[in-house]
């Protein structure tokens, strides 16, 4: 099957020549929050007659990955690789993490950037398998509810294997001791 040769929309010349270019561009919501992004080997098509350059979805993908790297966020391919290493579908990862399935899909397709907080959450899952086990334990708790960390279970003492681990803090004052000296 032969691919149809594309014509230059400006001058009508055909075919457009495939090429690559490095691009530097600004990214960010506000002028004072903008960052400079360098995208390398962005695929383009060039018209040899008029010199126009055209880019498509593949160029957008390369630029999106460059934005992710510049911001320190996982790229779409890294998110897919993590999910596959965990042996999960998008729906399973969504149930485990309580991140929306549509959100995970948008990350993997490069339609949306994860927040820094959710990127950190994904890194915790990636770097320590115990975190995945902990989430599975919490997800299977009674009524499927994830326990509220401000109200731990009413067990007399956490046992071995409990997701709740407490450490004594030395030097802490009770609220009554702190407020007693305040007038």
Domains and CATH numbers, the chain: 7-71 (3.10.20), 73-138 (1.10.260.40)
Residues 78-129: pLDDT tens digits?
999 999 999 999 999 999 999 999 999 999 999 999 999 999 999 999 999 8
Measure the CA–CA gap between 114 and 122, rounded to whole angstroms: 10
Q: Is 3 left (phi over 0), alpha (psi -120 to 50) or beta?
A: beta
Question: Which pLDDT belongs to residue 3?
Answer: 65
Instruction: Please indicate, yes or no, whether the overall pTM of this predicted structure exceeds 0.75.
Output: no
* Residues 24-46: tens digit of each pLDDT: 999 998 878 899 999 999 999 99
């Amino acid at each position: 099957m032969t691919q149809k040769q594309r014509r230059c929309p400006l001058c009508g010349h055909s075919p457009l020549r495939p090429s690559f270019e490095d691009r530097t561009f600004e990214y960010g919501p506000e002028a004072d929050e903008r960052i400079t992004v360098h995208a390398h080997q962005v695929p383009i098509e060039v018209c040899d007659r008029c010199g126009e350059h055209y880019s498509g979805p593949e160029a957008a993908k390369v630029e999106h990955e460059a934005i992710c790297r510049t911001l320190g966020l996982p790229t779409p391919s890294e998110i897919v690789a993590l999910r596959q290493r965990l042996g999960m579908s998008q729906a399973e990862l969504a149930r485990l993490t309580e991140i929306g399935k549509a959100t995970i899909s948008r990350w993997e397709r490069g339609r949306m950037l994860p927040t820094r907080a959710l990127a950190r959450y994904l890194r915790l899952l990636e770097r320590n398998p115990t975190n995945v086990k902990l989430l599975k334990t919490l997800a299977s708790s009674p009524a499927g509810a994830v326990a509220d960390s401000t109200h731990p279970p009413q067990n007399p003492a956490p046992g071995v294997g409990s997701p709740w681990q407490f450490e004594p803090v030395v030097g802490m004052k009770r609220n009554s001791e702190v407020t007693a000296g305040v007038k």
